Structure 1
């Protein structure tokens, strides 16, 4: 048993800008996996944490949900933002541990179950046609992110919630501000102020939606959440709005990042584009590879509930751990040639959706949206190329491309 070697490479995980430079990011993560897979990180502005970069170590922590808890620090944020969120009192599914997590998750679980997904399939396929048509109507050149990728999953998740279409632009703005508050281009002011303002605005919006659904319930997820009870008692206003917020943000930004990042990967790997276009039966495997390749959720945090040992390193009770999903999804011990994009990759044991009790609630919906979109796009796509440099979002949590300029011909 030994203490880890101090390694400057681990500090990049607290630098949002590193996620805009994939070469630098993966060089650092590869070095950590090889030489310091459980690394102590102490950088100004953040509470200290341990960075885990090996797939096996991350899976071990995910499985031991009693020993490594989500509360009180599920996401890497600055110390200032940690304090702000604690003061606001927001506690979403990602902040909760069992048994509370199990009970609260069950409120919306039926909306994401296989039966519900089968019922939604036709509607999602119709929306895929709409947004591929919209892509065609741009005239053969567009920013794929801003004009297509962010709107398709936004429409799906907001329709599921029951948000009127006239309010979709507001929801897009608020979700981008919440998820993109580390990116200077996406913020209104300082990151902490930005998060506070977006949370306040989102809370106000969803509070009105709750009042409406309690007075006049409808057949949508918002009504289910607004009228839910636990042990005969309704959810608190903060709990209800927190539930809406995690559904709205997690159900939108992650999928839009996967769709845009998937298209970029296909453009940059034309052999795989041709392979998939020639055999759409590969789409289920291609969807998993897109999700692995993009890994839109970069990391989650856990807190050690007791003294523990991970890969020979002692983690004292109360210390925080960062689970680097981006690193785990390029782990050479798990994936053959992990830096090769392979639409037929099998097996594909990626951890992009997490694992165990906190496995992503909307995973089946995300998979359906990605596969439906590319099943519609690829048979109609006769050519596609980059029309400029792709740009990635600065983040330490959820993100992907913020611009993907492309030139294409489409039937």
Structure 2
């Protein structure tokens, strides 16, 4: 296939789909995806100045679902699974000895190693085991809502609730002491908030790409140093938690190597926090914008699961993943060559009107709601049951104790192309 055969995105629109700032401006971004989905649902994105490798952008739900499920044709290796500038990819290779992945984890492994690693902790995150944690999660939810009420009647929901609450939950499951949680929050924000000066905690605005990459690499190093110490503790005195499982795990009879072990800790700690945080804030934004819906769900809790599921779709916290074609193939009538890089854009897919009627509308009664916010296929999110449970319990507590809720200012989204969502949500709450 020649370059002339590829439908190529114009430079201005290409900037829109890879710019962190554009993901903070939600409706115009969705407008862009609507146009692309209609005109060129599969389009080649390249930079004349070669600042990033070229890739195919997938915007239709049908195509995104097919690629997500076809883990033999579309691989998580050998290229990075997150969109990165060429400079960042080369930096990662320089510090890892050749891998484009700063972190080696479940999201970077392909078969057969992926399933071997996934099975190490899979039971921890299944509904049967999570039911034993409901009491502890509810206690954390109560303490979180206590802080919100104490700070009220006007407060930032993100800072007081949606950011700390999922962190508390996942750290408890992982086995990280409560006094270390602020450090984990900071490192998570540095990893996933590197493009947003208010979240990356750098004290700098308008970070150049190389500084962003180095900031993320520094957070990874700090994570690794912390979990190396935790590993020693869990090997000497194992307890009933995920960290002990990882520290003492064996694959094919051998202990995990240091890089894979650290990656496992990091993916559980970081991915288990930011994504649920974004969905939780998204749910509260939708309810704050619709006081009648808040009142209805207070009276009828059967609506709550629908609100949780719709919030996850509507927010789409993981905004994309990249895949690499293992062989020549075809998507949407377009030939894809072996080795081509492909972006599954979940924001676009989860707002596809061919799959979701009025996709920009928050519809708690949406059914079916087969969104792609958790991915699909072998790499479907390991923590999806935990995320749903966390949100359900938190909103049960909120609905019990908060009578009214309304916006008290303009919410702001994070500048991020990868994991994104609200970073501020000012609310005015009335206590029940």
Q: What TM-score, normalized by structure 2, do the two folds share?
A: 0.92
**Does 1:261 pair with 2:265?**
no
Question: In the alignment, which of 384, 403, 413 is matched to residue 363 of structure 1?
Answer: 384
Contact 1:392 1:403 in 2 (8 A): yes
Pairwise CA distance, 1:47: 1.3
Query: Is the aligned partner of 1:81 residue 2:88?
Result: yes
Q: Are 1:153 and 1:256, in contact at CA under 8 Å, matched by a contact in 2?
A: yes
- Inter-partner Cα distance in structure 1 for 2:68 and 2:282: 26
Partner of 1:172, secondary structure, is helix
Displacement, 1:308?
1.3
What's 1:171 paired with?
184
RMSD of aligned alpha carbons: 1.5
| Structure 2 unmatched ranges of 5 or more | 97-102, 205-210
Quote how far apart the aligned CAs of 1:232 are.
1.1
Do the aligned partners of 1:111 and 1:221 also contact (CA within 8 Å) in 2? yes
For the pair 1:209 / 2:215, whether they are aligned, the reply is no
The CA deviation at 1:192 is 1.1
Query: How far, CA to CA, are the matches of 1:361 and 1:82 in structure 2?
Result: 26
- Report the equivalent of 1:323: 344
Could you say which residue in structure 2 is the equivalent of 1:59? 65
Residue 249 (structure 1) aligned to one of 258, 267, 270: 270
Residue 198 of structure 2, aligned match among 185, 189, 192: 185
Shift of 1:247: 0.3
Task: Report if aligned partners of 2:310, 2:369 keep a CA contact under 8 Å in 1.
Answer: yes
Kindly state the Cα deviation for residue 271 of structure 1 after the two structures are TM-superposed: 3.5
* Corresponding pairs, count: 411
Judged with a 3 Å threshold, the aligned counterparts in structure 2 of structure 1 residues 3 and 77 are, in CA distance, closer, same or farther, namely closer
Q: 1:50 aligns to what SS in structure 2?
A: strand
Q: How many Å separate the matches in 2 of 1:290 and 1:186? A: 22
Cα displacement string for residues 322-371 of structure 1 (whole angstroms, at most 9, x for unaligned residues): 00111111111011111111111111010000001000000000000111
Partner of 1:20: 24
The 2-side partners of 1:97 and 1:327 are apart by 25
2:198 partner SS: helix
Tell me what 2:165 maps to: 152
139-148 vs 76-85, which deviates more?
76-85
Check whether the contact 1:11–1:42 (CA below 8 A) recurs between aligned residues.
no
What is the rounded CA distance, in whole Å, between the counterparts of 1:224 and 1:85 in structure 2? 28
Q: Deviations over 1:222-274 (max 9, x none)?
A: 01000001111100111111100000011000011111111011112334323
Moved over 6 A (4+): none
CA distance in 1, matches of 2:325, 2:363: 36
1:30 aligns with 2:37: no
- CA displacement at 1:5 relative to structure 2: 4.9
Residue aligned with 1:322, SS: strand
Alignment match, 1:224: 245
Alpha carbons 1:11, 1:41 under 8 Å: kept? no
- CA distance in structure 1 between the partners assigned to 2:390 and 2:320 by the alignment: 22
- Map 1:55-134 → 2, pairs under 5 A: 55-72=61-78, 73-89=80-96, 90-134=103-147
Task: Give yes or no for contact 1:269–1:341 (8 Å, CA) kept in 2.
Answer: no
What does the per-residue CA deviation read over 1:41-100, in whole Å, with 9 as the maximum and x for residues that have no partner? 113522111100000001111121110001132111222222233344331110001100
| TM-score where L is the length of structure 1 | 0.97
Q: Secondary structure at the match of 1:345?
A: coil
Contact 2:291 2:405 in 1 (8 A): no
More moved, 168-177 vs 312-321: 312-321
Q: Does 1:48 align with 2:61?
A: no
SS state at 1:186 partner: coil
Unmatched 5+ residue regions in structure 1? none
| Residue of structure 1 in register with 2:149 after alignment | 136
In structure 1, how many angstroms separate the alpha carbons of the residues matched to 2:293 and 2:37?
A: 28
Q: 1:10: how far off?
A: 4.1
Q: Which residue pairs with 2:360 in the alignment?
A: 339
Distance of 1:184 and 1:47 partners within structure 2 = 25
Do structure 1's residue 294 and structure 2's residue 298 form an aligned pair?
A: no
**Mapped contact 2:228–2:262 kept (Cα < 8 A):** yes
How far is the alpha carbon of 1:409 from its aligned partner?
A: 1.1
| 1:400 Cα deviation from its structure 2 partner | 0.8
Instruction: Provide the rounded CA distance (Å) in 1 between the counterparts of 2:232 and 2:409.
Output: 46
Q: Is the 8 A contact 1:175 1:253 kept in 2?
A: yes
